[in-house]
Chains A and B, each alone.
Chain A
Amino acid sequence: MFNRTPIAPLEYTRKLWMRSWVGLTMLFLYAPLILLMIFSFNDSKRNVVWKGFTLKYYEKALNNDSLVEALVNSLTIAALATNVSLVIGALAAVALWRFQFPFKGLVEGTMSLPIIVPEICLGVAFLIFFAKVDWPTDLPWPLNLSAITIAHITFCFPFVAMVVRARLASFNKEEEEAAKDLGATEWQAFRDVLLPHIRPALVAGALLAFTLSLDDFVITFFTSGPDTITFPVKVYSMVRFSVTPEVNAASTILILLTVILTFIALKLQGVKGIAETH
């Protein structure tokens, strides 16, 4: 990093104050997470002093049935919501990109609302809705997750549609026409030409939907019945009532899961592709 050449005017990143600024910002963003991860291995009830390495809180967390159940529920909901969102979102994107139809503006506007409307409002809407229609709450697993899953799909699929539509904008319609010219039917042209083109957007949209679903607390908080608990809701109640090292351990597991997912996304898309999604 030592470079004798004087700093050129636009080499902002070689300026000390700029480097410190970025460094401090990164510290601000990461220090809490890293400390949390480190102290999940700390052999002490009270969080602050290092008392030696232990895995006992991981053991405790993994033996905590309701915590594990919450995690399994969260992952199940995320997987279901991602798949359905992907299909509905992609269809919506294709419909808006391809066709001119009456009330198109209305459909387009309504579809962007779940992104804009505050989570709390969406949450209470689902609370009232499921109460009003008497949605059954005593179904066996995994049907008892249906209400939460429906809610998650509603706020996930517009994001998928947005990402896919951005990708569709770069599609050359002549490719599809060429396929049809060579004898493909409407469906074959869609499957063989359009679908491969939007694949990167589907991957990005799936990751986005999965993360959003796994991340959601507020809407789930309002939608979940007394017996259906998700990981964020469980962690919330643990944080509310007592901060235990178990939460550190469980959080560390989820952080690592996120990092792994992000790196899979990186392998699939490259950093730039991910950046463009947002």
Chain B
Amino acid sequence: MTQAKQPIIQIRNVSKRFGKVTAVDNISLDILAGEFFVLLGPSGCGKTTLLRMIAGFEMPTEGQIIIDGQDMSLVPPNKRPVNMVFQSYAVFPHMNVTDNVGYGLRISGVSKGEIRDRVAEALELVKLGGFEDRMPDQMSGGQRQRVALARSLVMRPKVLLLDEPLSALDAKLRAQMQFELADLQDKVGITFVTVTHDQDEALSMASRVAVINKGEVAQLAPPADLYEYPANRFVADFVGSVNIFEGKLTLDEPDKAAVDCPGLGKIYLNHGVTGPHGADVWVALRPEKIYLHVPGEGKAVRAAAQDAPDGHNLARGTIKGMSYLGDITLYEIQLEGGQMIRVSRPNLSRHDQEDFTWDDKVSMHWRADSPVVLLS
């Protein structure tokens, strides 16, 4: 990323209503030049509508979209410096690969020789050399997607928009394309804006992610922050797996905080949360950040760590369910208070999954920097 971090797309108070349904509700955000930006959210959250408004296929009911310093309100899609890769790929079925990729250049009157060179270069970029004369119906879904990518990239847009680019691919190909897309973006240096409902996709490719819920931005952050520091229950729950407990904030100082959760006990944090004392809050705890051990053993482990006062960040329960997933094993544990908690444990050795089984009594602990306190 050589360019300075300045916004290439500015979305200003944009709303979109279809009749009585509000698809996008007063969103404002900046997308920076050269970044891989992902709009993540469940289906129907308005993320695709937002993307289509950037491309120019939908008009905002209110607000303004500025691309490269220019207001796009009256600019039709064919005059915008952005190109889109459609969810269905929208490869023209009556044209071969060369004609598909060269379509936009032909339309804008680029000379034949230049078209030939740029098409060849774009096909090379998406690893489709040798497919020049193929018709779309002779290609796999993954290959058609590469055609769609090349067709957009050959236009050298300021921003490339991708609508659910990997949703139609099978799992293996999807994983491969995640890497390839990120790699491609790095190579061409064009700003990518991708829409997806798949959190793995978002986390693995994005430089920044905007989580969208019910037409609003729930959180905008780099992937790691999204996972480790979710801003609210929606993000904590949507991105990754999480245990959420309701409690009261009993201690809140700059370097420590504590929450009293009925059923789970006292949770201690080694940083402040700046919430009102006594307020109702939620604590999010990721399954992999919980250590599992045989009862009694836990205290000794904890004593060595010494990062929380005695009686904090400890819980006991009974294993009610487990599923072995190969790399990890997932445990469903019923706490003494009756609530369920999910814990995942890496299978570091071949026999790790034999350590615990159904109906075993277990104790748990977690580090003081693991829980996240959520105010909403």
- Whether the complex brings A and B within 8 Å at their CB atoms is answered yes
Q: Which residues of A pack against B, CB within 8 Å?
A: 4-10
Contact A9–B73 (Cβ < 8 Å)? no
Chain B 24-75 residues near chain A, CB threshold 8 A: 56-61, 73-74
Chain B residue contacts of A9, Cβ below 8 A? 56-57, 76-77
Contact A6–B56 (Cβ < 8 Å)? no
Q: Can you name the residue of chain A whose Cβ is closest to the Cβ of B52?
A: A8
Q: Can you name the residue of chain A whose Cβ is closest to the Cβ of B53?
A: A8
Q: Can you name the residue of chain A whose Cβ is closest to the Cβ of B76?
A: A9
Contact B57–A7 (Cβ < 8 Å)? no
Q: Which residues of B pack against A, CB within 8 Å?
A: 56-61, 73-74, 76-77
A7 contact from B59, B61, B77, Cβ within 8 A: B59
Tell me how far the C-beta of B372 lies from the nearest C-beta in chain A, rounded to whole angstroms: 40
Contact B57–A6 (Cβ < 8 Å)? no
Contact B59–A5 (Cβ < 8 Å)? yes
Measured in the bound complex, the distance between the Cα atoms of B78 and A10 in whole Å is 12
Measured in the bound complex, the distance between the Cα atoms of B56 and A182 in whole Å is 58
16 contacts between A and B (CB under 8 A): A4-B61, A5-B59, A5-B60, A5-B61, A6-B59, A6-B73, A6-B74, A7-B59, A8-B57, A8-B58, A8-B59, A9-B56, A9-B57, A9-B76, A9-B77, A10-B57
Q: Which of A4, A6, A7: most chain B CB closer than 10 A? A: A6
Measured in the bound complex, the distance between the Cα atoms of B59 and A16 in whole Å is 17
Measured in the bound complex, the distance between the Cα atoms of B74 and A5 in whole Å is 11
Chain B residue contacts of A7, Cβ below 8 A? 59
Tell me how far the C-beta of B258 lies from the nearest C-beta in chain A, rounded to whole angstroms: 51
Measured in the bound complex, the distance between the Cα atoms of B58 and A205 in whole Å is 42
Q: Can you name the residue of chain A whose Cβ is closest to the Cβ of B17?
A: A5
Tell me how far the C-beta of A6 lies from the nearest C-beta in chain B, rounded to whole angstroms: 4
Besides A8-B58, A9-B56, 7 new A-B residue pairs in contact (Cβ under 8 A), listed by A number: A5-B59, A5-B61, A6-B74, A8-B59, A9-B76, A9-B77, A10-B57
Interface of A is mostly: loop
Tell me how far the C-beta of B80 lies from the nearest C-beta in chain A, rounded to whole angstroms: 11
Q: Can you name the residue of chain B whose Cβ is closest to the Cβ of A10?
A: B57
Chain B residue contacts of A10, Cβ below 8 A? 57
Chain A residue contacts of B61, Cβ below 8 A? 4-5
Measured in the bound complex, the distance between the Cα atoms of B61 and A230 in whole Å is 59
Measured in the bound complex, the distance between the Cα atoms of B73 and A6 in whole Å is 8
Tell me how far the C-beta of B197 lies from the nearest C-beta in chain A, rounded to whole angstroms: 24
Chain B residue contacts of A5, Cβ below 8 A? 59-61
Measured in the bound complex, the distance between the Cα atoms of B60 and A272 in whole Å is 32
Tell me how far the C-beta of A1 lies from the nearest C-beta in chain B, rounded to whole angstroms: 13
Interface of B is mostly: loop
Q: Can you name the residue of chain B whose Cβ is closest to the Cβ of A11?
A: B59
Measured in the bound complex, the distance between the Cα atoms of B52 and A10 in whole Å is 12
Measured in the bound complex, the distance between the Cα atoms of B52 and A71 in whole Å is 58
Chain B residue contacts of A6, Cβ below 8 A? 59, 73-74
Q: Can you name the residue of chain B whose Cβ is closest to the Cβ of A4?
A: B61
Chain A residue contacts of B57, Cβ below 8 A? 8-10
Chain A residue contacts of B76, Cβ below 8 A? 9
Measured in the bound complex, the distance between the Cα atoms of B73 and A5 in whole Å is 10
Tell me how far the C-beta of A18 lies from the nearest C-beta in chain B, rounded to whole angstroms: 16
Q: Can you name the residue of chain B whose Cβ is closest to the Cβ of A6?
A: B59
Chain A residue contacts of B58, Cβ below 8 A? 8
Chain A residue contacts of B77, Cβ below 8 A? 9
Tell me how far the C-beta of A48 lies from the nearest C-beta in chain B, rounded to whole angstroms: 45
Chain A residue contacts of B56, Cβ below 8 A? 9
Tell me how far the C-beta of A134 lies from the nearest C-beta in chain B, rounded to whole angstroms: 58
Measured in the bound complex, the distance between the Cα atoms of B60 and A5 in whole Å is 7
Q: Can you name the residue of chain B whose Cβ is closest to the Cβ of A7?
A: B59
Measured in the bound complex, the distance between the Cα atoms of B56 and A6 in whole Å is 11
Q: Which of B59, B61, B73, B77: most chain A CB closer than 10 A? A: B59
Tell me how far the C-beta of B51 lies from the nearest C-beta in chain A, rounded to whole angstroms: 14
Measured in the bound complex, the distance between the Cα atoms of B58 and A119 in whole Å is 50
Chain B residue contacts of A8, Cβ below 8 A? 57-59
Chain B residue contacts of A4, Cβ below 8 A? 61
Q: Can you name the residue of chain A whose Cβ is closest to the Cβ of B73?
A: A6
Chain A residue contacts of B60, Cβ below 8 A? 5
Chain A residue contacts of B73, Cβ below 8 A? 6
Chain A residue contacts of B74, Cβ below 8 A? 6
Measured in the bound complex, the distance between the Cα atoms of B59 and A9 in whole Å is 9
Measured in the bound complex, the distance between the Cα atoms of B60 and A6 in whole Å is 8
The 8 closest A-B pairs by CB, nearest first: A6-B59, A5-B59, A8-B59, A5-B61, A8-B58, A9-B77, A9-B57, A8-B57
Tell me how far the C-beta of A8 lies from the nearest C-beta in chain B, rounded to whole angstroms: 5
Measured in the bound complex, the distance between the Cα atoms of B361 and A152 in whole Å is 85
Measured in the bound complex, the distance between the Cα atoms of B74 and A9 in whole Å is 11
Measured in the bound complex, the distance between the Cα atoms of B245 and A7 in whole Å is 48
Measured in the bound complex, the distance between the Cα atoms of B59 and A4 in whole Å is 10
Q: Can you name the residue of chain A whose Cβ is closest to the Cβ of B60?
A: A5
Measured in the bound complex, the distance between the Cα atoms of B60 and A7 in whole Å is 10
Measured in the bound complex, the distance between the Cα atoms of B77 and A147 in whole Å is 63
Measured in the bound complex, the distance between the Cα atoms of B76 and A10 in whole Å is 11
Measured in the bound complex, the distance between the Cα atoms of B232 and A104 in whole Å is 69
Measured in the bound complex, the distance between the Cα atoms of B55 and A9 in whole Å is 11
Measured in the bound complex, the distance between the Cα atoms of B323 and A265 in whole Å is 56
Measured in the bound complex, the distance between the Cα atoms of B76 and A73 in whole Å is 60
Measured in the bound complex, the distance between the Cα atoms of B56 and A10 in whole Å is 10
Measured in the bound complex, the distance between the Cα atoms of B59 and A8 in whole Å is 6
Tell me how far the C-beta of A54 lies from the nearest C-beta in chain B, rounded to whole angstroms: 47
Measured in the bound complex, the distance between the Cα atoms of B56 and A4 in whole Å is 16
Measured in the bound complex, the distance between the Cα atoms of B15 and A4 in whole Å is 13
Measured in the bound complex, the distance between the Cα atoms of B56 and A188 in whole Å is 58
Tell me how far the C-beta of A41 lies from the nearest C-beta in chain B, rounded to whole angstroms: 41
Measured in the bound complex, the distance between the Cα atoms of B73 and A251 in whole Å is 53
Measured in the bound complex, the distance between the Cα atoms of B286 and A98 in whole Å is 60
Measured in the bound complex, the distance between the Cα atoms of B77 and A9 in whole Å is 8
Measured in the bound complex, the distance between the Cα atoms of B61 and A7 in whole Å is 11
Tell me how far the C-beta of B272 lies from the nearest C-beta in chain A, rounded to whole angstroms: 46
Measured in the bound complex, the distance between the Cα atoms of B49 and A5 in whole Å is 15
Q: Can you name the residue of chain A whose Cβ is closest to the Cβ of B61?
A: A5
Tell me how far the C-beta of B86 lies from the nearest C-beta in chain A, rounded to whole angstroms: 13
